[in-house]
């Protein structure tokens, strides 16, 4: 057995190496795993008897799966879900989650959904999944709106990721509307693009039969409420993807753990 000497004390060299060698690095969580952590944390806000807004997208999908699991286990009961898209409707039905609509339940207890961007004031960009209109209608009726993201979605300002801020428009004369939108934010270096479906190479069509114009900004567009009002004043615009002052709780999953922030 190899021995090392520390002062006058004999030490097993192999044991010495084992005690001083660095521990193996921890595995880095994938983005989807971080989304799942945030989603499961959000479901802790769900209580039996609630009417829930069910979001759309990869992060919200984890939350809906978890709600379905808790219903099957009997840990939740008498839940009613209101889906924000056809995709979410189908997922919820497959999990046995009872569904309703805003006509029957105009006030919701809680909504859980992801976001494409979150600025320091908890304003959101949503709709890159194509469901912004129904999401805004449903999540605007909630007593509490819990937003779940991984830390890659945090930005300094709306549009700061360089990715799209969607605007849902009617198909009629879409080029005219797109040009109006681009001109509206010319000072921010805006570029307006019709969203194309990867499935058929044609214009992407929302659940409501509309098109989406994706706006890309090179600079901060400034006052979000003023920007949103200006967008909605354009004939042909249905809704925009800025969710201003709507989120009440933000859950962010990152390598350092989960952070929960409540709106002041």
Catalytic residue ranges: 135
The rounded distance, in Å, linking the Cα atoms of 232 and 196 is: 22
Residue 224 CA, chain-centre distance (Å), reads 19
**Comparing C-alpha atoms, which of 116, 114, 66 is closest to residue 92?**
66
Q: What is the DSSP string of 207-264?
A: TTS-EEEEEE-SS----HHHHHHHHHTSTTEEEESEETT--SEEEEEETTEEEEEE--
52 three-class SS: strand
For 156, residues 6+ apart whose C-beta sits below 8 A from its C-beta are 119, 120
Q: How far is CA 173 from CA 69, 169, 180, in A?
A: 45, 10, 11
The rounded distance, in Å, linking the Cα atoms of 49 and 102 is: 17
């Amino acid at each position: 057995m190899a021995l090392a000497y520390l002062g006058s004390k004999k030490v097993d060299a192999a044991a010495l190496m084992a005690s001083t060698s660095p521990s193996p690095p921890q595995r880095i969580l994938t983005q989807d795993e971080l989304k799942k952590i945030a989603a499961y944390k959000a479901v802790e806000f769900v209580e039996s008897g609630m009417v829930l807004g069910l979001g759309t997208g990869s992060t919200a999908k984890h939350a809906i799966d978890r709600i379905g699991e808790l219903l099957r286990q009997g840990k939740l009961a008498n839940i009613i879900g209101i889906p924000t898209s056809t995709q979410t409707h189908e997922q919820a039905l497959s999990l046995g989650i009872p569904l309703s609509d805003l006509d029957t339940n105009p006030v919701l207890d809680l909504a859980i959904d992801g976001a494409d961007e979150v600025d320091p004031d908890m304003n959101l960009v949503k709709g890159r999944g194509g469901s912004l209109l129904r999401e805004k209608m449903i999540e605007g009726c909630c007593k509490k709106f819990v937003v779940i993201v991984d830390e890659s979605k945090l930005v300094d300002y709306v549009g700061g990721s360089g990715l799209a801020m969607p605007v849902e428009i009617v198909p009629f004369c879409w080029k005219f509307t797109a040009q109006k939108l681009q001109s509206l934010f010319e000072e921010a270096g805006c570029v307006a693009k019709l969203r194309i479906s990867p499935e058929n190479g044609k214009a992407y069509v929302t659940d409501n039969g509309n098109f989406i114009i994706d706006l890309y900004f090179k600079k901060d567009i400034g006052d979000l409420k003023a920007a949103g009002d200006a967008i909605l004043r354009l004939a042909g615009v249905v809704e925009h993807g800025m969710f201003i002052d709507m989120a009440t709780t933000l859950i962010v999953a990152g390598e350092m753990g989960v952070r929960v922030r409540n709106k002041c």
